[in-house]
Amino acid sequence: MEKRALISVTDKKDLKNFAKTLVDLGFEIISTGGTLKFLLDSGINATPIDNVTGFKEMIGGRVKTLHPNIHGGILYIRDDKEHVNEINSEGIKPIDIVICNLYPFKEVVAKNPSLEDAIENIDIGGVTLLRAAAKNFKYVTVIVDPSDYASITKELLERGNTSYETRKKLCVKAFSHTADYDSAIDSYFSEVLTDNKKIRFSFDSGKTLRYGENWHQNASFFKKDTVEPSASNMKQLHGKVLSYNNYFDIEAALNVAKELSSYNAAVIVKHLNPCGIATGKSLFDALKNAWDGDRVSAYGSIIALTKKVDLKTASFLKGRFVEVIIAPSFDDDALEFLKNKSKDLRILETGKLFTSEDKVYKFLIGGVIEQDRPKGLYEKWECVTEKKFPDDKKELGLFTIIATKYTKSNSIVLGMEYEKGYFKVLGSGVGQPNRVDSLKKLAIPKIYENLENMWDEEKPNVPKEVFFKERISECVLVSDAFFPFDDTIRVAAEHNIKYIIQSGGSIRDKEVIDTSNKFGISMVFTGMRYFNH
């Protein structure tokens, strides 16, 4: 029996070779408009669609494939005698393969076109072809994605037809494509024609997790396409399957690592909060200093590193329990060491770290919030106190802002320059109802605990109190938002903190500035808040 393929595509990538293969395999190719011209110009014999339908393409190409000679050939059930007799009596020939992708509606409306241009990029015949072929997947191969040409070519050459399993997968792909297409049209026209802003989500590859946030909760993880390195597309090289809590901690660690990707940097996260962040001359130095930020909380943590992991860096984790280690790549010996360290350690490879997504979403019961991704570190850099903020403290200040940006509000973070040009978090207080507690009850005790460790290891030739006072005086304190009162400033002054960065914007800014001047504190207003809920 004669085999026929209908080709009508917007995306002509790799089409020439695939169409030539079909011709070599004995397929008659039917085609339309621009696709027909492309095939003929490429030296590939193709039959114009109007030779099959008996009608010329009509009304500016709006009607060309909508005809019984086309859809009858696609939709009839090959095992149904009545269908076969009806098709034969009407002189309709089978169409075995449909290759179609649609007008670029999403790309067009992203450029804010006129309504008329948007309307003309709504595909009618293409969607109908895809739905018809996908509906009859038991017999018809539907191809919407050029990346499938190679595997389909292989099957056609080996067996003369695609397998039923392949046609099932291609069917789903086609319906997914039309669903996404209709969703884009729905969202656009809902907003443009009825002023009803609408958003739709599509996630797939759902997999069941061992349990949810707690043992008694069921959970699944679904993916969406993104090029940005994330928990959805990184490669797991080793270890147990990821848990619900792993996914959230991975995202929290990666967000910081992406901001620090130009440095050798290490980020250690526990229950969504960074408990250690550092840059270093080497990746090993960064990891060691990040670990020293909170040695207790680092137990069972998630670690994100910004550069390729070498053996020395990997060896630092000997005898230290962590749940997950994430990095752009791993040296072979470093990977082997980590694999041998624990059969359960999850090792994840991201490729180069970067950001590309512009929006972030928070799901609530019955709703979702869309907002701009929090980009940037400051809108202004204004020293508002009598004591000026030194230029050589600015890089430390920016590092500490990054650390603050990804801790849970209310938060206070103190960063220190432990070596010229390299920084670490000395202590932080996060997730508190007020910033005084964040500083006084959490950050300050952690700072002194870490300074005690540094004192013991460095064995400096100065009294401990002097060592503590000198080190703290060189730190930068960052608040995730403005100070509503001067009480946090007074606590900072008690502990010899001399440099503070905050957003500004409180009705008591003058009071806060006056208190800072009283204690010789230098304060910068950034005009940017870093809430993280």
Active site residues: 135, 271
DSSP-derived 3-state class of residue 277: strand
Q: In 3D, which of 173, 236, 244 has the Cα closest to residue 207?
A: 244
Provide the β-strand partners of residue 269: 274, 302
DSSP 58: B
The answer for residues whose C-beta is within 8 angstroms of residue 79's C-beta and 6 or more apart is: none
Q: Return all residues near 158 (Cβ < 8 A) that are at least 6 apart.
A: none
Residues with Cβ within 8 Å of 40's Cβ and at least 6 positions away in sequence, in order, are 46
Q: Name the residue among 114, 304, 96, 288 with its Cα closest to residue 192.
A: 114
Specify the DSSP element, H or E, that contains 47: strand 47-48
Q: How far apart are CA 118 and CA 39, in angstroms?
A: 27
> Could you tell me the two tokens for 491?
């606590």
Calpha distance 384→515 (Å, rounded): 12
Tokens 């393929």, residue located: 5
Q: Which residues contact 105 (CB under 8 A, 6 or more apart)?
A: 118, 121, 122, 123, 181, 184, 185, 188
**DSSP character at residue 171:** H
Report which of 104, 105, 76 is spatially closest to residue 90, judged by C-alpha positions. Answer: 76
Q: Tokens 């329990």, residue?
A: 321
Q: Are strands 204-208 and 220-223 parallel, antiparallel or unpaired?
A: antiparallel
Cβ neighbors of 485 (< 8 A, separation 6 or more) are: 508, 511, 512
Alpha-carbon radius of gyration of the chain = 31
**Residue type at 154 in one-letter notation:** K
Q: What is the DSSP letter of 440?
A: I
Strand 97-100 versus strand 220-223 pairing type: unpaired
